[in-house]
């Protein structure tokens, strides 16, 4: 969300630095801009900024988990492909051996 978008939706204007301070929370919550700004108005920017490092850690953990899940899925898919490749090679060899 851009600063001007946020300030149009919020009751009290915030700075670019404050917006970046709650950016991780915005990403984690994955809410519409209007809904997120309602939360900011209700709770208050200063209260949310107190937990900035916590949101950043959660965001990092989420990205690391997503990367690990992609890794595990990719490893499993590679194993499936290896089995499929072995089967296909077997069929090719069998066919070539059966030809007159």
Render pLDDT for 36-74 as a digit per residue (tens, 0 to 9). 999 999 999 999 999 999 999 999 999 999 999 999 999
pLDDT of 31 reads 96
Q: 3: exposed, middle or buried (C-beta count within 10 Å: 0-12, 13-18, 19+)?
A: middle
Average pLDDT of every residue of the chain: 96
Output b/e per residue, 8-34; b: 16+ Cβ within 10 A.
ebbeeebeeebbebbebbbeeeeeeee
Q: Count H helices, E strands: the chain? A: 6, 0
pLDDT of 99 reads 74
Q: How far is CA 50 from the centre of its chain?
A: 23
Token digits of residue 21: 């301070």
CA distance linking residue 41 with residue 10, whole number of Å: 6
Q: How is the chain split into domains, by residue range?
A: 3-73
pLDDT of 27 reads 95
Token digits of residue 48: 């949310």
pLDDT of 25 reads 96
Q: How confident is the model at residue 98 (pLDDT cuts 50, 70, 90)?
A: confident
| Residue 100 pLDDT > 80 | no
From residue 4, alpha-carbon distances to 8, 14, 58, 66, 88 in Å are 6, 9, 26, 31, 58
């Amino acid at each position: 969300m851009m600063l001007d978008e946020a300030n149009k939706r919020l009751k009290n204007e915030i700075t670019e630095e404050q917006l970046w301070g709650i950016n991780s929370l915005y990403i984690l919550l994955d809410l519409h801009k209007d809904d997120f700004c309602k939360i900011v108005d209700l709770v208050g920017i200063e209260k949310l900024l107190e937990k900035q490092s916590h949101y950043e850690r959660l965001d990092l953990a989420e990205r690391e988990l997503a990367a690990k899940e992609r890794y595990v899925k990719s490893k499993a898919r590679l194993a499936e492909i290896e089995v499929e490749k072995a089967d296909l090679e077997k069929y090719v060899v069998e066919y070539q051996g059966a030809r007159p």
